Structure 1
Amino acid sequence: MPPSRGFTLIELMIAIALLAIIASLAAPAMSSFLLNQRVSGQASALSSALQFARSEATTKNRRIKVVPVANSTNGWTQGWCVILAELSNCNGNILRRYDPAPAGVTIEGDYLQTGNVLTFRRNGTRAPAVSGTIKISSANLSNTGNRARCLTLDAIGRVSVEAINRDDDC
């Protein structure tokens, strides 16, 4: 009798069932991983925008602003742009535009409540020259493991990012 080739239908169904069980066990961990990456990605994007704005201010020797696309304090989740200080919104000649936050990611902070605009002077310092924080998080994050991000912008315009727990303040 010649050796058989391939799989029987029963063997194939058992392999598919095992794959389905493994996938169902991995799905919650994968969704948590993706949410963590979305929060981290938004923190990186905002940090990058602030560093770019500071750099452009010194390079162009002009005041540069970072403003939300939407005109409200929660408008930062709709994306933001880097513009010349003479402009008031993200319409028109912008230097760089950033995409909206993924669903469920929140961007909030003391800077975003007052004036809703981050301005850099031509020497790269903040206007007004005060320190402040911006928290990027999600209600769906685990409250352990430092999954949220806190951006600190100091008075001279430097940005630092720190990992914090979801319910902690910056």
Structure 2
Amino acid sequence: MSATFTTYYQSPVGLLRISGTDQYLSEVHFVDNEEEAAVATGTDNLPPMAILAMDQLIEYFQGQRRIFEIPVNQEGTEFQLKVWNELMNIPYGKTTSYIDMALRLGDPKVIRAAASANGRNHVAIIVPCHRVIGANGELVGYAGGLWRKKWLLGLEKRVAHGVQTLF
């Protein structure tokens, strides 16, 4: 059995809790809880997977990485796994709507289920659930807060297209 780790990274959009094993990443989660943030551990003696995750996140935030090359493993239903896999197909700097996602999953009636699965993604940024927006182009729903979603989309838009603002 693989040893698990949890570490923290202070990103431009706040503190991130990063968890996984020596074989994969299982969580990148925004930490807004001040008590948890106060006990955030340092970066001494981190396993290689934690270092890889932090290095790739740093490159992402610096506009130097568009695709993450790190194994991810989330526990979920077959449908959730399908949705999370579909999220990985949304190109950097682009967005899609929940209805378009449902259509790509093969059934427009699964729009609410797809949105629910999107909200249960445990690997923020790397599994880019922030790239899903409302059909009208509005920012809707993001577990990390809409301000973070706007910030992440703005970063990607600037890096990919040289555009100053998205919303």
TM range (shorter): under 0.3
Report the structure number with the largest CA radius of gyration: 1
TM-score by length of 1: 0.24
Please identify which structure carries the higher strand content: 1
